């Protein structure tokens, strides 16, 4: 019996193009100038080993940003503030049926907090598992260890993990969770209905 579901954020609950692509277009800055940060320092931010505000600051002049670091983060986070309300509705319905729902996401600490407060995820979910707080990120075993330890009383097969990235889904299955790859809302709705024995009509957004 399914007792808990883990949801991915970007690529599932939040659907936007890559921030680097958007920024490159908006500010006419080449990807070659933007990507090195995301490939290097940002990876440390994702596991809580670097502070985003500190490590991004030297890049802002190169990226032609002439405001503060805080202004930059607000621009960034707001540009990705696009939540799929259909999935949020499903989560509300699942929680009403006593199925616990959690966010399991690779995020640095400031966007994690933005998700909790500004996106309202603190109220949408029973809990949020962020890589910055776990000290490891998907698809590592350490990340799944962190999540599972935070869910006492559950067996691994009680938990369904959803993610748009195949490597994360495979890793979750290898860990022992049930796992599904997110490809579309329609596919998600149908599989959720099968996994939970709910009618698919239950998930039509009203």
Report pLDDT digits (tens) over 46-95.
Answer: 999 999 999 999 999 999 999 999 999 999 999 999 999 999 999 999 99
Q: Please state, as a whole number, how many other Cβ atoms lie within 10 Å of the Cβ of residue 87.
A: 23
Task: Give all domains of the chain, ordered by start, each with its CATH number.
Answer: 4-15+82-203 (3.40.50.1000), 19-79 (no CATH)
Look at residue 196 in the predicted model and tell me its pLDDT.
87
d(CA 119, CA 112): 10
- Which of the 8 DSSP states describes residue 33? H
| Tens digit of each residue's pLDDT (9 = 90 or more) over 186-196 | 999 999 999 88
pLDDT bucket at 204, cuts 50 / 70 / 90: very low
C-alpha distances (whole Å) from 113 to each of 53, 99, 139 are 14, 24, 22
Predicted model pTM: 0.93
Estimate to the nearest angstrom the gap between the alpha carbon of 200 and the chain centroid: 25
Spatial CB neighbours of 183, under 8 Å, sequence gap ≥ 6: 164
Q: Token pair 């499903």 is at which residue?
A: 90
Look at residue 199 in the predicted model and tell me its pLDDT.
53
Query: Do residues 135 and 142 make contact, with C-beta atoms less than 8 angstroms apart?
Result: yes
d(CA 29, CA 69): 17
Q: Please state, as a whole number, how many other Cβ atoms lie within 10 Å of the Cβ of residue 99.
A: 21
């Amino acid at each position: 019996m399914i007792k808990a579901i883990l949801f991915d954020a970007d690529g599932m609950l939040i659907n936007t193009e890559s921030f680097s692509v958007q920024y490159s277009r908006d500010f006419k800055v080449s990807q070659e100038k933007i990507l090195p940060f995301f490939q290097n320092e940002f990876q440390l931010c994702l596991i809580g080993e670097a502070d985003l505000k500190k490590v991004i600051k030297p890049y802002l002049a190169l990226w032609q940003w002439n405001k503060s670091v805080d202004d930059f983060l607000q621009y960034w986070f707001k540009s990705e503030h696009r939540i799929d309300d259909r999935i949020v509705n499903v989560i509300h319905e699942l929680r009403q049926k006593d199925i616990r729902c959690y966010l399991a996401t690779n995020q640095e600490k400031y966007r994690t907090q933005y998700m909790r407060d500004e996106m309202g995820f603190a109220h949408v979910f029973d809990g949020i598992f962020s890589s910055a707080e776990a000290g490891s990120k998907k698809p590592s075993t350490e990340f799944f260890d962190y999540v599972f330890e935070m869910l006492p009383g559950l067996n691994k097969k009680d938990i369904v993990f959803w993610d748009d990235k195949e490597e994360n889904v495979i890793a979750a299955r290898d860990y022992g969770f049930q796992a599904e790859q997110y490809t579309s809302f329609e596919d998600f709705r149908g599989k959720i209905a099968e996994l939970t024995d709910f009618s698919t009509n239950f998930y039509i957004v009203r």
